[in-house]
């Protein structure tokens, strides 16, 4: 496998995960989780979303969370914004980066934000202008890049047109999102092999959901194409309202464990990350999908039963 020596993980659980929890996560606990993630060495954390409280009430404390998290040198703290008003709030709150999103399929975009793709891109133009004036970086995500829960397959040409519109507006960081876990590794590779040469100089990110247990295989396919930026969610928090029964994003600690087992560097302290995942489970009050918390790391060893230990042959 042709893998990079190092990759960058963006933790999205505090935003993508907490926003759909049925119970409001207290502000102090949100801050605690972000601080624990920082201490574990996460280089990028999507802390919250600056949306109208009526739309996403679970993140109505966005300003307070951003104001009270401990900023670790070397970590970039970002937030998702839906429009220029959200961008102004995010900039005023001191985010290091603004994240935006538009869908690759018209039906999903209408269901998600009640706008056509063209209307969403017009809104994003205003967001980018706000960020540019404040000298804050912007990363543009594209939902349903690999499939739509309403339309099925999203033609590659359609995805390319959305990417082109974003690049023409000045986007230099683009995330391809497998929003409902419909992608497969061959499709991921084919998509990246098509897009990357057409849009040189773009920082590509893969945002995967593990709905069908394909997230890490898809990430490995992207790594072989040269992608080195990936989103993850602590404990596998998250999901999609348009995919009943869907699990959340790829579990951050499972992904980091996989990368470290292959000797791919992340700069993340896996033991601290696992401890953070356990704390998040306590906060949400249920077992999360992550596997490493349950099974332990690959180098975990168990004592031999006495009946076996005495029968081991001497080393030759």
Which 3 state secondary structure label does DSSP give 237? coil
CA 19/CA 26 separation, integer angstroms: 12
Q: Is 295 exposed, middle or buried (0-12, 13-18, 19+ CB in 10 A)?
A: exposed
240 catalytically annotated: yes
Q: Are 229 and 206 in contact (CB under 8 A)?
A: yes
User: From the CB of residue 22, how many other CB atoms can be counted at a distance below 10 Å?
Assistant: 7
Q: Is the dihedral of CA 88, 92, 93, 94 positive or negative?
A: positive
Q: Which of 10, 140, 148, 240 is catalytic?
A: 240
User: How long is the chain?
Assistant: 316
**Positions marked catalytic:** 240
């Amino acid at each position: 496998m042709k893998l990079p020596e190092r990759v960058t993980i963006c933790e999205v659980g505090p935003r993508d995960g907490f926003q759909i929890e049925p119970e409001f996560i207290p502000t102090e606990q949100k801050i605690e989780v972000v601080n624990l993630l920082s201490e574990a060495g996460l280089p990028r954390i999507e802390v919250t979303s600056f949306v109208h409280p009526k739309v996403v009430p679970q993140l109505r404390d966005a300003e307070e969370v951003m104001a009270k998290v401990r900023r670790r040198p070397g970590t970039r703290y970002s937030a998702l914004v839906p429009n220029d008003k959200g961008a102004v709030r995010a900039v005023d709150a001191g985010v290091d980066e603004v994240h935006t999103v538009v869908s690759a399929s018209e039906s999903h975009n209408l269901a998600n934000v009640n706008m056509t793709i063209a209307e969403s891109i017009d809104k994003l133009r205003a967001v980018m202008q706000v960020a540019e004036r404040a000298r804050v970086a912007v990363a543009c995500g594209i939902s349903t890049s690999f499939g739509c829960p309403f339309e099925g397959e999203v033609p590659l040409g359609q995805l390319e047109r959305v990417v082109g519109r974003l690049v023409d507006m000045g986007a230099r960081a683009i995330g391809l999102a497998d929003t409902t876990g419909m992608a497969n590794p061959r499709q991921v590779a084919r998509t990246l092999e098509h897009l990357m040469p057409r849009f040189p100089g773009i920082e590509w990110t893969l945002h995967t959901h593990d709905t069908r247990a394909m997230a890490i295989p898809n990430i490995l396919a992207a790594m072989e194409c040269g992608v080195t930026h990936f989103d993850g969610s602590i404990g596998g928090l998250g999901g999609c309202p348009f995919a009943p029964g869907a699990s959340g994003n790829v579990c951050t600690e499972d992904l980091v464990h996989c990368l470290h087992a292959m000797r791919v560097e992340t700069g993340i302290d896996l033991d601290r990350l696992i401890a953070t995942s356990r704390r998040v489970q306590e906060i949400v009050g249920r077992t999360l999908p992550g596997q490493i918390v349950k099974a332990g790391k690959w180098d975990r060893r168990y004592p031999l039963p006495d009946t076996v230990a005495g029968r081991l042959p001497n080393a030759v």
